[in-house]
Amino acid sequence: MLLNSLLLLGLASCSSAYKGLQRTEGDAGACLQRFRPQIDSPVLYSTQVDVLQHHLSGLLYFRPMDNGSMRVLFMSEMGMKFFDFEFTKGGEFIKHYMLPKMDKKAVVKTLRKDFDMVLMRRDPATAVTYTWNGLRYTAFSLPKGKIYYITDEACTELVRVENGSRRKPVVEATLRAYRNGVPDSIDIRHHAVKFNISLQRVEK
């Protein structure tokens, strides 16, 4: 009896949170275009970032460039820069600056993946669509895991965004209260480590 219980517990712990996904047809481009932040001019957010033992607060700018790239600049309200990243039109990532005490490969990589996830700049042609439990999952493959943009089946509401491993969600993001194609709030939460980002749009 004890052995059977342990086996069942082991099987449950190895079960995938995505095992119920059913492949389906769908226009990923048309669906995601409704929720992809339409940042055509600089947008400013009041921002709180918790990275391990560091807590940072300040202002974050999304700034579209003439060459089609997107700059993401985070600084204190006194003007001290924390980081300055660029996502190019061709999908490359450039680190222009990172606060030295935070300039760790893992931290930069995580921030890159988080902002890439919420900016939704990936080619819709590479997406695969699934449905499960009344929701639609538009998935993009990563070197490890996938990004899932989860909506209702009619694609009228963005429920959440997940960066998932093969077994479970690793990062969850919500984008809420869109105005003129831009969300008023963005929240990113990591499940395994203290690495959270909260953004609230500021009217200039």
Q: Give per-residue pLDDT as tens, 142-165.
A: 988 899 999 999 999 999 999 988
Is residue 12 over pLDDT 60?
no
Q: What is the rounded distance in angstroms from the CA atom of residue 109 to the CA atom of residue 47? A: 19
Is residue 135 over pLDDT 60?
yes
Phi–psi pair at 198, nearest 5 degrees:
-125, 130
Residue type, 119: L
Other beta carbons less than 10 A from residue 86's beta carbon:
17
* Overall average pLDDT of the 105-131 stretch: 92
Q: Tell me the pTM.
A: 0.87
